[in-house]
Amino acid sequence: MLTYVFLQAPQGGSNPFIGLLFPLLIIVVFWFFLIRPQVKRQREQQKFIDNLREGMEVVTSAGIIGKVTKIDGNVVRLLIDERTFIRVLKQTITGEFKP
């Protein structure tokens, strides 16, 4: 014969906020390890784009390496070879090229 034992929650003085502790902890961990570093990288990228100037050697998101020759609003003209220019958007420039 099988007998079943049912465990009951303790009656009385349990704190209702203990149940919220684990979800809050997960949110804090996600913010600290995922969201915060991503926002920091976006801020640094935007600062780099704002400080872009002629003469810098840069890399685009497509892997094209070129020298900035002209900045016209959101469009940047890159010299990628002798007398070979391309126009790219500022947002596609990922960083400065350092050989």
- pLDDT digit of tens for each residue in the chain (99 aa)? 666 666 565 555 567 777 788 888 999 998 889 899 999 999 999 999 999 999 999 999 999 999 999 999 999 999 999 999 999 999 999 999 988
Same domain, 47 and 65: no
The pTM of this model reads 0.68
Number of domains in the chain: 2
Q: Is residue 91 part of a domain?
A: yes
Q: Alpha-carbon distance 75 to 85, whole Å? A: 12
Domain that holds residue 99: 53-99
Beta-carbon count within 10 A of 94 CB:
15
Angle 78-82-84 from CA coordinates, rounded to 5°: 45
Quick one: which H or E segment has residue 39? helix 36-50
Angle 45-51-57 from CA coordinates, rounded to 5°: 85
Q: Is residue 90 part of a domain?
A: yes
Same domain, 58 and 38: no
Same domain, 47 and 62: no
Same domain, 38 and 64: no
Backbone torsion region of residue 63, taken as left when φ is above 0, otherwise alpha when ψ lies between -120 and 50, otherwise beta: left
